Amino acid sequence: GNVDVLMKPGETTLATLLQRAGYATACIGKWGIGHPVSPQDPHRHGFDHFFGYLSMWHAHNYYPDFLWRDREKVPLRNVVQNPEKYYKPGQESLVGLAREKRDYSHDLFTQEALDYLGRQEGPFFLFLPYTIPHANNEAPAFGAHGLEVPDYGPYADRDWPEPEKGKAAMITRLDRDLGRLFAALKQRGLDENTLVLFTSDNGPHKEGGVDPDFFDSNGPLRGIKRDLYEGGIRVPLVARWPGRIEPGSVSNHIGAFWDFLPTFAELAGVEPPAETDGISLLPALLGRPQRAHEFLYWEFHEGSSKQAVRLGRWKAVRMAPSRSLELYDLESDLGEQHNVAGRHPEIVAQVERILATARTDAETWPLTDRKGARSS
């Protein structure tokens, strides 16, 4: 969420690295980790242009009464219910539910992105963090489901729950608008010189009244958003680069978001920061031999501190610092149903060493057994 320590002044981001390499840089959509003129301001972290939500809470509402463009508040025609209940002084975190809905934020982001592409004459980096199909988490408090969309389109007459119609319509709208962006790149003669990466920040959710099982969103995977089981963190990465990436090709390489910085650094011909844990994904994208991670490590702080490690075929999960380690063989048990920690003490010991060394202790992110309690 919006914690003031998430990004410190001077931290190297993908945008700052590419900006130094001569790229125009833009973020359009949900920045989500700051407030106006704060240390988390996207302009202080490498972006020349910004349009969208600064605050995570603000981004829950698809019909906000304002957005931000380059530190200027842009009023919209929407009217939000009970704004005094949600407004946080100095943080511009107006959320809730609109009672008058005219300007759909996703559509505004798409048009802003199309306009931005139309202006580019040199190397550019566009970060387009769309918010759909996230839910408006506050909508149920007003008696509405959270899958806000202007219309249900082809799903209006389906015998489905309303939230599922909204989710399907959101995904269809997203698909349509990606097609519009691809067409714009081609029209300007940029598509064969532009790498597009499309991915998600987590697995499916159950917020806003939606049921992740309705469309079998996770298939055989266990868990959803906020879990460190595969269903919470295993997401696809779709890459498009006409003439460079073979259409329909598939890579089984396991990467992570921290691989993006060295990947783009290699593409831009600059050195990534020495302290990065990432590995360039460019070989995998181009169908070449790819170096693998020795291991991948995650932790999640909401309630107790959860930790997870991916070590080749093995996946380890610890639900809290005081809990026993769970171990799964993903080659034979992708759904993480059979804890085999007792049968593989040598792997458990290896994971324990990783858990002890993979993280840097931080005052703001202590390992805890419950919210607000520090682990010994």
Per-residue confidence (pLDDT) for residue 93, from 0 to 100: 55
Q: Is the peptide bond before 133 cis (omega within 30 degrees of 0)?
A: yes
Report the alpha-carbon distance of residue 17 to residue 290 in Å, rounded. Answer: 23
Predicted confidence band of residue 95 (pLDDT cuts 50, 70, 90): low
DSSP string, 249-297: --------GGGHHHHHHHHHT-PPPTT------HHHHTTS--PPPS-EE
User: How many C-beta atoms lie closer than 10 Å to residue 135's C-beta?
Assistant: 25
Report the alpha-carbon distance of residue 317 to residue 324 in Å, rounded. Answer: 9
Evaluate if residue 43 carries a pLDDT over 60.
Answer: yes
Per-residue confidence (pLDDT) for residue 36, from 0 to 100: 65
Predicted confidence band of residue 140 (pLDDT cuts 50, 70, 90): confident
Per-residue confidence (pLDDT) for residue 338, from 0 to 100: 99
Tens of pLDDT, residue by residue over 272-290, are 999 999 999 999 999 999 9
Where does the chain have alpha helices with state H? 14-20, 83-86, 105-119, 162-187, 230-233, 260-268, 282-285, 345-357
Evaluate if residue 8 carries a pLDDT over 50.
Answer: yes
Evaluate if residue 320 carries a pLDDT over 50.
Answer: yes
Per-residue confidence (pLDDT) for residue 4, from 0 to 100: 53
Instruction: Walk me through the domains of the chain, giving residue ranges and CATH numbers.
Output: 14-244 (3.40.720.10), 296-357 (3.30.1120.10)
Closest CA to 80 of 62, 100, 66, 60: 100
Predicted confidence band of residue 374 (pLDDT cuts 50, 70, 90): very low
Q: What is the mean pLDDT of the chain?
A: 92
Backbone angles phi, psi at 180, to 5 degrees: -65, -40
Report the alpha-carbon distance of residue 159 to residue 164 in Å, rounded. Answer: 10
Per-residue confidence (pLDDT) for residue 364, from 0 to 100: 79
Tell the burial category of 316 from Cβ atoms under 10 Å away from its Cβ (0-12, 13-18, 19+): buried
Poorest-pLDDT segment among 29-33, 90-94, 208-212, 294-298: 90-94
Rounded to a whole number, what is the distance in angstroms from the first to the last CA of the chain?
A: 25
Report the alpha-carbon distance of residue 200 to residue 190 in Å, rounded. Answer: 24
